[in-house]
Amino acid sequence: MSAYLEIRSVTKRFGDFSALRDVSLDIAEGEFVCFLGPSGCGKTTLLRAIAGLDIQSEGVIRQAGRDVSALPPEERDFGIVFQSYALFPNLTVRKNIGFGLRTRGAPRGEIDRRVDELLEMIGLPDKGDSYPAQISGGQQQRVALARALAPRPGLILLDEPLSALDAKVRLHLREELKTLQRQLGVTMVMVTHDQDEALSLADRIVVMNVGVVEQVGTPFEIYDHPASRFVADFIGAMNFFPGAMTAPDAIAVRDLRLHCTPNGHAGGQPVTVAIRPEDVALAEDHESDPRNLIEVGVGGIEFLGAHARAQLVHDAFVGAPLVAQLPQAVMRRRAIARGQQIRVRLPEDRLRIFDGDARHG
Amino acid sequence: MADVAIGASAMPRRRVVRPRSGRDDRLMLAFVGMIGLYLIASLALPIGFMLWKSTEVRSFAFSAFEVEVDRGQGFEPLGALTVAAPRLGLADEITQARRGPSLTAAQLFPRGQFEGQPVTAARVRLTGDARGGGLEALGQPVAIGDWAEVDADNLRRLTLRAGTINSFANYAEYFSNPALSQSIVNSFAVAIITTVITVTLAFGFAYALHRTCMRGKGVFRTLATAPILAPSLLGGLSLVYLFGNQGLLRGLMFGGSIYGAPGIVLGCVFFTFPHAMLIIATALRIADARLFEAARVLRASPRQTFFTVTLPGARYGLISAAFVVFTLTITEFGVPKVVGGDFNVLALDIYKQVVGQQNFAMGAVVSVILLVPAVFAFAVDRWVTARQVALLSARAAPYEPAPDPRTDRRAFVFCAAVAGFLLLILLVSQYAALIRFWPYNHELTFRHFAFEGVDGGGWGSFWNSLRLAFYVATIGTGVVFIGGFVVEKGRSFAWARTALQFLAMMPMAIPGIVLGLAYIFFFNNPANPFYFLYGTMAILVIATITHFYTVSHLTALTALKAMDREFESVSASLKQPVTRVFAQVTTPVCSPTLIDIAAYFFVNAMTTVSAVVFLYAPHTTLAAVAALNMDDAGQIQAAAAMCMLIVYANLAARGVHALLSRLLARTQAWRTR
């Protein structure tokens, strides 16, 4: 299968600064892809390169088999929604949505029908004659999306489209966006710095950092098998400890000996051991398998509602305590409190091993 | 999937992308080019030409003239004039040319003699380029290399003509003439004193408006900006009526004379006050209330708070206002013309050199000297303005003054005094325009508005001014707005947009009178393809638009910057031409700013003197210039009447502006939630 959008060795320089370095990526037709990363990672730069708004210094971008690398935006095929929505303030919702439908040779009646259809689709059939300032932020966002969809482009680009909204509206619109995208089958690329948004919306996530792609994968792959220390750290919470491989399936963290699944690191190599807080399991009293079972002191407990986050103290974990996220039900049943000594298991298949020392990794 | 397929297709791994320009880019570039060319032709080239002309000096090309003389024993060579000059009693090339642009053989051999012996014949030939000069014999030009020979009776008919060279001789002459260079000291003294007075008053006024709860703020604000509506020379006229030789308040001068520095300073304070007040008011308006709360919590005294919070917060506004007032004053020529007396200042020197003595080169020299402080003040102002932007953080809380009867009362008294002075100046001219004969006959009459038998063109001038103001307001606003749009919203051709931005900032650094003189040099030159503009209304429109370009441009930019940066991107993604966003979104949204710019252009076109004083023709006389000429001819009440006509027109324009603003607000339902 040939990709709908092919990005090859794209580099963008602003003077001496490289905002994108040799980025390559394939996006299939009908896919929902999120560019995720901290601010300044180059995700918006990549989106604007795809749009032709800030054309890359080097590299090729092909869309539907056509080389669009050097084309100005008006000669490419995409619709775009910005964080600000950029709705034309002096035009009604109808006129905003219909803006891209004029001069396409479409008769008036057809334009009106298409606008009605879109208003219906975004659930604002009676807001057509309002001005953007007269409708809510969430409604504005939907109008901006409808305007982008109106000429039926092959690709929709979304630049942090939800970040200007408050939390509740954001959750609601997130679902709507996903449903709409599935219904229409249109390829969407969304830039976001919100990992929850990316994890819940995307078919695939592109994690970026300082101008390079760190990992591309499904939300599950990204969360469960982070390819780098950066990804592991950026997505979700993660405990990191410096250690060294003693054998292909064994690690030493100070005096602590842990087993792990073989991962390609040879014995003697310094590594960073990582485990997610929710993977730290409370051992039952009767458990006797000593592998990866450690005794820790409960340093502090942070109550989070359904869960609690416990800081576990152990001689091996210098610098930062081991953080465990435990269901509140378990906490209650075992009556875990500050100052107790408890036993936890670090399941060997949940340990992630990365190159290098935690402090330098 | 991410990193697969690199190199799988035949695409080269490193390929530098040259963005292709779209239709919109090319259209925008075309507009950048047109407006850029306009500014080059109407500003950069004339100023450059004037700089060049200021170094032009008449001079004989001594080395190119070879002289022989016959004292009865055949021609004996005297060599080139470079060698022969001392023997012939000539000065150096430039000094000689200054004494007269031509030399005849009769002057080379006074009384027909050379070194005491009678000359029977003389001949001269050109051995090379005469630098624009030449040689004539018996009324005919002589070609290079040919001898021009005359006998003793026709010595007078052999003429050597001076050419021109470029040197700093004009500048040397300027600085060696104390009568001229004294103006530099005078100009700086007057400008500095005016700046100190105006900025102090303006700060007090703005402070009272924004930091106290005094009554009558609306009235005070209106009165404070009123001088903008009048030509600057109105202040001078009123001062003459008040403190002149027949002035009402002459007693207050205690025997001193208003003519000279005191008059110039007072007149300049009058017309620069609104500019300073508006700038400082802007700086005081954006105060952060949290700083004042912090000061209160720290138990700072009001005095401490003033010096540690208020003043530093307004410092950029104060510096900016100071340099604006300084520039306005040092480049002002209307006020010194009316009340300057014998006190010479630079701007007036330019006028005198050009109009009075027809010495254009010296006018150019003074212009260049005037450019130095103007450009310097401009640079400082830009630097300061650029720093002020970051002053107001998004989290700042707006400051609301609390009532304090004592302070409020003092503020009121202060503002009443300042506004009273401004009002007095305006009203005195109004009164003088309406009474029969100052100061003896105070019977009310409209006879001065008939402009019968006065200089300057009367009502014709007024209609011309209205026409000019209308053209400038409409055409100028269009040009400026499109220029601002392509600078701010263009996507590619960054270098061209930067260049246009630079050109658009230049007019602010150029004093109007310098621009006017530069236009004479540049346009009044048959070799210039735009020569046909000279003496037309068009050149007045061009000069005025260019003179007031920068402030309008900055106003347009502010409005355009406030618009979402992505409107054009969205439109491009929807395959719509940029002209459609411009027409359907940008222009309607910016329409309040457009009428602001038009009003600014209109008012300034009505009042300006400096840029147009050299450029009007008999059929394009202008009201403000007419007032100047009436004053010059001693018809000072007619001058006051003309100034008041300008004020009425500007008041009417303000009314139209307010009406349009209100109408716009009504049609712009989208602005309200």
- Which pLDDT does position B13 carry in this prediction? 52
Which one of B14, B20, B568, B570 makes the best mutation probe of the A interface by having the most chain A beta carbons within 10 Å? B570
The mean per-residue pLDDT over the stretch B38-44 comes to 94
The mean per-residue pLDDT over the stretch B493-518 comes to 92
Q: Which residues of A38-55 are buried (b: 16+ CB within 10 A; e: fewer)?
A: eeebbbbbbbbbbbbbbb
The mean per-residue pLDDT over the stretch A59-85 comes to 94
Compare CB distances from A88 to B5, B577, B585 and report the shortest one's residue.
B585
Dump pLDDT digits (tens) for B512-570.
999 999 999 999 989 889 999 998 999 999 999 999 999 999 999 989 988 888 999 99
Rounded Cα gap, residues A76 and A53, in angstroms: 11
Rounded Cα gap, residues B663 and B655, in angstroms: 12
Are B517 and B363 in contact, with CB atoms under 8 Å apart? yes
pLDDT interval class at B221 (50, 70, 90)? very high
Residues of chain A positioned with their CB less than 8 A from the CB of B20: 70-72, 75
Task: Report which secondary-structure segment, H or E, holds B361.
Answer: helix B360-388
Q: How far is B27 from chain A (nearest CA, A)?
A: 13
Residues of chain A positioned with their CB less than 8 A from the CB of B11: 8, 60
Query: Smallest Cα–Cα separation from B544: which of B590, B593, B613?
Result: B613
Q: How far is B660 from chain A (nearest CA, A)?
A: 18
- Which pLDDT does position B523 carry in this prediction? 92
Residues of chain A positioned with their CB less than 8 A from the CB of B668: 90
Residue A331 has pLDDT above 60, yes or no: yes
Lowest mean pLDDT among A133-142, B73-82, B90-99, B243-252: B243-252
The mean per-residue pLDDT over the stretch B94-108 comes to 87
**Parallel, antiparallel or unpaired: strands A204-209 and A32-36:** parallel
- Which pLDDT does position B95 carry in this prediction? 86
Rounded Cα gap, residues A326 and A301, in angstroms: 10
Q: Which residue has the tokens 């060279």?
A: B165
* % of chain A residues with pLDDT over 70: 98
Dump pLDDT digits (tens) for A251-273.
988 888 888 888 778 778 888 99
Q: How far is A356 from chain B (nearest CA, A)?
A: 24
The answer, for B669 touching chain A at a CB cutoff of 8 Å, is yes
Tokens of A23: 């980025």
**C-beta atoms of B17 and A134 within 8 A:** no
Please give the distance of CA B501 from its chain centroid, rounded to a whole number: 19
The mean per-residue pLDDT over the stretch B264-273 comes to 95
The answer, for B562 touching chain A at a CB cutoff of 8 Å, is no
Residues of chain A positioned with their CB less than 8 A from the CB of B586: none
pLDDT interval class at B453 (50, 70, 90)? confident
Residue of B nearest to A215 (CA): B2
**C-beta atoms of A88 and B566 within 8 A:** no
The answer, for B13 touching chain A at a CB cutoff of 8 Å, is yes
pLDDT interval class at B396 (50, 70, 90)? low
pLDDT interval class at B395 (50, 70, 90)? low
- Which pLDDT does position A104 carry in this prediction? 55
Question: A with B: how many residue pairs have Cβ under 8 Å apart?
Answer: 141
Residues of chain A positioned with their CB less than 8 A from the CB of B667: none
Tokens of A9: 């060795």
Which one of A8, A91, A93, A103 makes the best mutation probe of the B interface by having the most chain B beta carbons within 10 Å? A8
**C-beta atoms of B585 and A74 within 8 A:** no
The mean per-residue pLDDT over the stretch B318-324 comes to 91
- Which pLDDT does position B357 carry in this prediction? 86
Which one of A11, A18, A74, A83 makes the best mutation probe of the B interface by having the most chain B beta carbons within 10 Å? A74
Query: Considering just the CA atoms, what is the radius of gyration of chain B in Å?
Result: 31
Compare CB distances from B573 to A58, A73, A88 and report the shortest one's residue.
A73
Residue A140 has pLDDT above 60, yes or no: yes
The mean per-residue pLDDT over the stretch B581-608 comes to 94
Query: Considering just the CA atoms, what is the radius of gyration of chain A in Å?
Result: 25
- Which pLDDT does position A361 carry in this prediction? 37
B13: helix, strand or coil: coil
Residues of chain A positioned with their CB less than 8 A from the CB of B594: none
- Which pLDDT does position B306 carry in this prediction? 86
Residue B341 has pLDDT above 50, yes or no: yes
Residues of chain A positioned with their CB less than 8 A from the CB of B670: 89-91, 131-134
- Which carries the bigger pLDDT value, residue B666 or residue B216? B216
Which residues contact residue B89 at a Cβ distance below 8 angstroms, ignoring those fewer than 6 apart? B110
pTM comes to: 0.87
Which residues contact residue A248 at a Cβ distance below 8 angstroms, ignoring those fewer than 6 apart? A262, A263, A265, A266, A267
**Parallel, antiparallel or unpaired: strands B134-137 and B75-80:** unpaired
Which one of B13, B564, B574 makes the best mutation probe of the A interface by having the most chain A beta carbons within 10 Å? B574
Helix locations, chain A, DSSP H? 43-51, 93-98, 108-121, 137-149, 167-184, 195-201, 219-224, 229-234, 328-334
Compare CB distances from A71 to B6, B20, B673 and report the shortest one's residue.
B20
pLDDT interval class at B5 (50, 70, 90)? very low
Rounded Cα gap, residues B473 and B467, in angstroms: 10
Neighbours of B550 (CB within 10 A): 20
C-alpha distances in Å from residue B496, one per residue of A54, B245, B499, B565: 17, 57, 5, 19
What's chain B's average pLDDT? 89
Residue A47 has pLDDT above 60, yes or no: yes
Residue of B nearest to A159 (CA): B566
Are B364 and B229 in contact, with CB atoms under 8 Å apart? no
Residue B5 phi, psi (nearest 5): 70, 10
Residues of chain A positioned with their CB less than 8 A from the CB of B584: 88, 90-91
Residue B389 has pLDDT above 70, yes or no: no
Residues of chain A positioned with their CB less than 8 A from the CB of B14: 9, 58
The answer, for B4 touching chain A at a CB cutoff of 8 Å, is yes
Kindly give the interhelix angle for B549-561 and B587-607, rounded to the nearest 10 degrees: 160
The mean per-residue pLDDT over the stretch B54-74 comes to 89
The mean per-residue pLDDT over the stretch A188-195 comes to 94
- Which pLDDT does position B388 carry in this prediction? 66
Residue B341 phi, psi (nearest 5): 60, -130
